Homo-oligomer: A and B are copies of this chain.
Amino acid sequence: MRFDEAYSGNVFIGTNSDFPESRVVLYGMPMDWTVSYRPGSRFGPARIREVSIGLEEYSAYLDRELHEVKYFDAGDIPLPFGNPQRSLDIIEDFVTKLLAEDKFPLGMGGEHLVSWPVMKAMAAKYKDLAIIHMDAHTDLREHYEGEPLSHSTPIRKIAELIGPENVFSFGIRSGMKEEFEWAKNAGMHISKFEVLEPLKEILPKLAGRPVYVTIDIDVLDPAHAPGTGTVDAGGITSKELLASIHEIARSEINVVGADLVEVAPIYDQSEQTANTASKLIREMLLGFVK
């Protein structure tokens, strides 16, 4: 044992300590200040890292081990409590720098609004960018009770940024009537209720394109992810979500970044949600990064 090494601390299992040689950077965005129902996702990234010690480093699904992908855990981005605009600016700046160094950004939320500044950075780098969005909720509001910066608005903003025809939502089971109508009129793709089957149809159409993948853990049924802000019955199983990640992994799209958001540990005394999220992160790492 050498005492002069910095203690690695609470990092995702198998992480690499060398930033320059890492292909992927894993980072937390511990923000939950615009959520309308149950807050707490600020503690999601830390808990996902903590429970990752329960994981095997090998994926029996992908026949690949964590050491085959070099990744660096950059920790949680420090964000100012209660100030959404400054928080989003800091995230955008962070990811822009990551992309300048040609890293694959793999983010952990925090509320879903954090995907908005990430996509601004992504879109500045990648032409013809598309997004695959798995979620229980449309997240297509223009504003929420007057606030344009809200956990209910990120996909709308992203659609306006990269064009609604480049947004592909799956598993959606909740939203306002106006949101569904806006999506329909705007030419955006929404698969209601299901993820895997419609994904199989869409993936070939995206072959070769750069795609960002954003997964709200509440696309899972509450049985599979009780630890999230807005649980919504009628969701998919963790087996289906894993299969969907593997379907993307085997497709010909070019995944250029991804995130997993809305894990709120306090609502799940069993910690199953954080454990499931840590497995999903492992599969995203091994499946999305070639």
Chain A interface (Cβ within 8 Å of chain B)? 1, 3-11, 17, 19-20, 25, 32-40, 42-43, 46, 49-50, 53-58, 60-61, 63, 65, 72-75, 77-78, 80-84, 86, 94, 97-98, 101, 144-147, 149-150, 172-177, 180, 192-193, 221-224, 226-227, 230-235, 237-239, 241-242, 266-272, 275-276, 279-280
Chain B nearest CB, measured from A44 CB (Å): 13
**Across the interface, do B72 and A3 meet the contact criterion of CB distance under 8 Å?**
yes
List the B residue with the shortest CB-CB distance to A229: B54
User: Main SS of the interface on chain A?
Assistant: loop
A-B contact pairs, 7 of them (CB 8 A): A34-B81, A54-B230, A58-B175, A80-B147, A82-B147, A223-B224, A231-B275
List the B residue with the shortest CB-CB distance to A90: B1
**Across the interface, do B267 and A267 meet the contact criterion of CB distance under 8 Å?**
no
Q: A20-B4, A34-B82, A82-B149 are in contact. Are A50 and B223 (CB under 8 A)?
A: no
**Across the interface, do B81 and A82 meet the contact criterion of CB distance under 8 Å?**
no
Chain B nearest CB, measured from A272 CB (Å): 4
How far is A50 from B174 in the complex, measured between Cα atoms in Å?
Answer: 19
> What number of copies of this chain does the assembly contain?
6
**Across the interface, do A60 and B175 meet the contact criterion of CB distance under 8 Å?**
yes
Given contacts A224-B233, A266-B267, 5 further A-B contacts (CB under 8 A): A9-B9, A9-B10, A35-B81, A56-B174, A221-B237
Which of B40, B80, B227 has a CB less than 8 Å from the CB of A146? B80
How far is A234 from B236 in the complex, measured between Cα atoms in Å?
Answer: 11
List the B residue with the shortest CB-CB distance to A20: B4
**Across the interface, do A7 and B3 meet the contact criterion of CB distance under 8 Å?**
no
How far is A42 from B176 in the complex, measured between Cα atoms in Å?
Answer: 24
Most buried by B among A11, A55, A83: A83
Chain B residues, Cβ within 8 Å of A25 = 3
How far is A97 from B177 in the complex, measured between Cα atoms in Å?
Answer: 36
Chain B residues, Cβ within 8 Å of A39 = 32-33, 39-40, 42
Q: A238-B221, A270-B269 are in contact. Are A6 and B6 (CB under 8 A)?
A: yes
**Across the interface, do B37 and A54 meet the contact criterion of CB distance under 8 Å?**
yes
List the B residue with the shortest CB-CB distance to A137: B56
Which of B74, B150, B172, B242 has a CB less than 8 Å from the CB of A81? B150
